[in-house]
Amino acid sequence: MHNFTLYNPVKVLFGKGQIKELTNLITKGKKILLTYGGGSIKENGVYQQVISALDGYEIIEFAGIEANPEFNTLMKAVEVCKNKKIDLILAVGGGSIIDGTKFIAAAANYAGDPWEIMTKPDATINSAIPFGTVLTLPATGSEMNCGAVISRRENGDKLAFMNPLVFPQFSILDPETTYTLPKRQLQNGIVDPFIHVAEQYLTTDLNTPIQDGMAETVLKTLIKVGKDIVNGTKDYDTRASWMWAATNALNGFIGVGVDHDWATHMIGHELTAAYGLDHAQTLAIIAPKLWRHQMENKSAKLLKFAHNVWGLENSHDEIAIKQSIILTEEFFASLDIKLSLKEYDISPDYDKITKNLFKYSQTPLGERRNLDEKAVKEILQMAH
């Protein structure tokens, strides 16, 4: 196991009815910027719950943060923060709203050109506006981590940044807010956390039974609830298990002391930037191909995956590994999730995608840093 430091200061309030606790989480007199998306929170009553809980507070609203939050939109919110001297931001929505809010919080206090936050790994973020979240879409884990992914469509960019200054102060997770999610987002909400776990678990075997056991439990939970969730179950416990699984997939705990991959995500971000596929849609296509491409390097952990997640203890090792990938694809397919670019009528421009992927950093991808342009092209060809 590698040495590690674990730091996660996010106060999580989980369960039905917790939105009313906002009044105990935010000090009266603070000037609040309420950030949200295209209006789902108005249709499902979450907005009303937030407004009722914050009766008497000074709230300025910033609506219209889009899926795959856009730099130019977020910069308008940065202006509001500066002009209105906002004390705290409250993000209400899915990963895009929370990620966008992290960028707004950091950019409002940033001395240079805010796009440097995304493009320069050594950009110095000295402070950020404090913020909290009300999560309405279990998927990204953004509610309990300090990462954010921001798009700049004019450049064809979709880039990530991480900084401990953009951990949410608090996050409210009420499974009942997820009842209105459409099928496509329910599908995304199973695949994204599944691949978050895989990016940390299907790497090198470093003899880490706690992390591996937690990772396997999150995967088995997603497999167990997947079908019911995508079919729109209103069973509270199923929704709660799903929501907590998605948070645990990327709140740092399963990732301590182990090697990380993230190549599927890096390639997937390029596919979203180029073709507009949802984040999770890209992951379902790329991950199984990448595992096949890297089967030898990942064999020890793929075997654990086969044994402990898919119950394939009785097969020959190589057969079990191959079968575990097939079973994962069958699981995604059983949720009506597409597994190739062709199914979306996309013929990728391999050169353009790989060139853009290595535009800001030439370091090869993967836990072994062995996935260069050539390897990425091979994986994309497999994904077609």
List the single partner that 284 binds among Zn ion, ligand NZQ, none, CB under 5 to 8 Å by kind: none
Are the C-beta atoms of 117 and 110 separated by less than 8 Å? yes
User: Does 37 engage in binding with ligand NZQ (CB under 6 A)?
Assistant: yes
Q: How far is the CB of 72 from ligand NZQ (least distance, A)?
A: 15
User: Does 137 engage in binding with ligand NZQ (CB under 6 A)?
Assistant: yes
Judged by CB, which is closer to ligand NZQ: 195, or 320? 195
Residues 192-231 that bind ligand NZQ (CB under 6 A): 192
Single out the residue of 157, 192, 199, 259 in contact with Zn ion (rule: CB under 5 A).
Answer: 192
User: Does 44 engage in binding with ligand NZQ (CB under 6 A)?
Assistant: yes
User: Does 168 engage in binding with ligand NZQ (CB under 6 A)?
Assistant: no
Q: How far is the CB of 253 from ligand NZQ (least distance, A)?
A: 14
List the single partner that 185 binds among Zn ion, ligand NZQ, none, CB under 5 to 8 Å by kind: ligand NZQ
Stretch that binds ligand NZQ, among 27-35, 139-147, 252-260, 284-292 (CB under 6 A): 139-147
Stretch that binds Zn ion, among 15-23, 185-193, 225-233, 342-350 (CB under 5 A): 185-193
Stretch that binds ligand NZQ, among 83-91, 143-151, 295-303, 368-376 (CB under 6 A): 143-151
Q: How far is the CB of 229 from Zn ion (least distance, A)?
A: 17
User: Does 306 engage in binding with ligand NZQ (CB under 6 A)?
Assistant: no
> What residues make contact with ligand NZQ under the rule CB under 6 A?
37-41, 44, 67-68, 93-97, 99, 136-137, 139-142, 145, 147-149, 177-178, 180-181, 185, 188, 192, 250, 265, 279
Binding site for Zn ion (CB under 5 A): 192
